[in-house]
Amino acid sequence: MNEVCFVQKLSYVLIVCASLAHLSSANATVTIYVKQNATGANTGVDWDNAFTNLDTALSSITVPNEVDYEVWVAAGTYTPANLATGFVLKHDLAIYGGFVGTELSRSQRNWETNLTVLSGDVGNDDTATCMSDTQCTPGTYGYCLDERCIGVNNSAHVVYVDESAEDDYSATLDGFTITRGNAQQEIIPGTFDEDGGGGVVFVGGSATFRNCVIKENRASDGGGGMYSFSTMKARLSNVTIMDNVANHGGGIGAKNIGIVEITNSRIINNRAAGDGFEGYGGGAELEGVSGSVVTMVNTLIAKNVASGSFGGGGLYMLNSGLTVNLKNCTVVDNRADHLNASGGGLFSPSSSLVNIDNSIIWGNEASTGKQIWTSQGPSRVTVQYSNVRRIASEGNIFGSVDFTGPNVFGDNVNPLDPENHDPHFADAGNGDYTLTSIPISVGKNVCIDAGSHELIPADVLDVDGNGDTSEPVPLDLLRNARQLEDRSTIDTGTTVSGCRVADMGAHEFTRPLCSKAHIVSSVPADWTIDARQPHPLYDSSLPARQGIRSAAEPIVITLDVSGSSSLQCWELC
């Protein structure tokens, strides 16, 4: 919820928000500029003399080197010259999109407004419209992606992470749309296996992706959006992987996954289109080796489809060396379509270790194990502080799942909640999976204020950009503050500082602010709130003098907290 919290301490504490600048390495940084309509010397030294072609800019960089490179790319659509590799990410190279082409600092760019597209449609001929694959000419296009047929002459991969990108994640792509790659068998004879990773392919090394959309890519084998031929080490923050198609692993395909961290991201509307024993992992296919760890935080996995007889509409997880951690994730409305398929949400056919914390698994469809399908041996799937639809007669769970934690709902009918612990999404039909409150007379939304503070992981990818990677992840998928107390909901989760409780799922429930509050400290022991409100505020603990006025008048509340160090939370709406 939106709140104001007060702490009375023995002395005044002034908290000043400061911006700290950090050097990323001891190396000097060289900036190279790319702008399609630049008319200068085409040297890349500034915007006026920017390279007009991204390939030219990247070919000017050698690895290893004694400097760190940043490439700033102005808005536009860029296609690769090499159809086999696409644009190559390298060690100590960060490529940033979203510029107009006049900026003096990276903070001035807007990647959402100034669309910068890396496209595999090198001939700019993916123009045939379609509503289904059957309307695309076999041997010429073959697949319908976002109502346009994708051409066989497109680049096999749009982005290529090679072995020179060392394990420090310094190879970075930030602020781009990656689209229309079409990975097939040997576009160029004699080159490496090219049938996986239409959008992004890993053949070694590590990379960081931020503020990117990977959409409408295709692969004849695995990973329409992203694929790994070797041990994949990746960090994804605020990345959307959507509308991709592959034989298996529609969004992500990883045969030898390494260490992957995905935070504040979306894996939606992807399709594993293979039939028979193929067609598994609509959202992602994760196949590990010893020590493989995949951690997803504040991530929405929704409306993905697996067409084959195995299943895994949302996630397909395989091999005993693999650990998958789902933290504050929402896995919803995924499907395993085949008559014999299992695991509409999650499919773990071997002894992979799967930890589900503060998450929602709901509304997925399959013949067996609609929400979760796992082996029937000793449980390797653990659920804590999560809402998993579990009604036995519906076939939601198959196999051995350890529901160890409290606040796991969905298996018993609550007479005050006729929808049986439904998460009450705002508009699931149109893809809005934010949480909504329900009338007290009906019950409560069991996902609000029901998570565990202790299970929120560290902000390794620094989603708020404050340089603190040890704090708990502070923002939800929509960049709202995490752990906002809703005072109209009974807390069933664990608190921090006796005040804030996290919600389940990728979205934190928020109430709209009626007005901004101006906080004044008049004397050391007294605090005053002056705000215009439509209805009274209330205090659940310490004595207070509460003034109640009409909506047009201010409410003034004075809290007397002398001798107390308790934290007080006040709802503004």
Average pLDDT for the chain: 79
Half-sphere exposure of 52 (CA within 13 A, CB side): 7
Q: How far apart are CA 456 and CA 474, in angstroms?
A: 9
- Over residues 204-222, the pLDDT tens digits come to 889 999 999 999 999 989 9
% residues pLDDT > 90 (the chain): 49
Q: Which amino acid is at 126?
A: D
- Asked which of 59-63, 151-155, 188-192, 309-313 is least confident by mean pLDDT, the reply is 188-192
CB 298 within 8 A of CB 330: no
pTM above 0.95, yes or no: no
pLDDT surpassing 50 at residue 4:
no
- The whole-angstrom separation of Cα 380 and Cα 176 is 37
Closest Cα partner for 84 from 243, 228, 191? 191
Q: Sorting pLDDT into bands at 50, 70 and 90, what band is 255?
A: confident
Model confidence at 18: pLDDT above 70: no
Confidence of residue 307 (pLDDT cuts 50, 70, 90): very high
Task: Give whichever of 67-81, 132-146, 416-430, 553-567 has the largest mean pLDDT.
Answer: 67-81
Listed in sequence order, the residues at least 6 apart from 328 whose beta carbon sits closer than 8 Å to its beta carbon are 297, 298, 357, 358, 359, 451, 456, 473, 476, 482, 502, 504, 505, 506
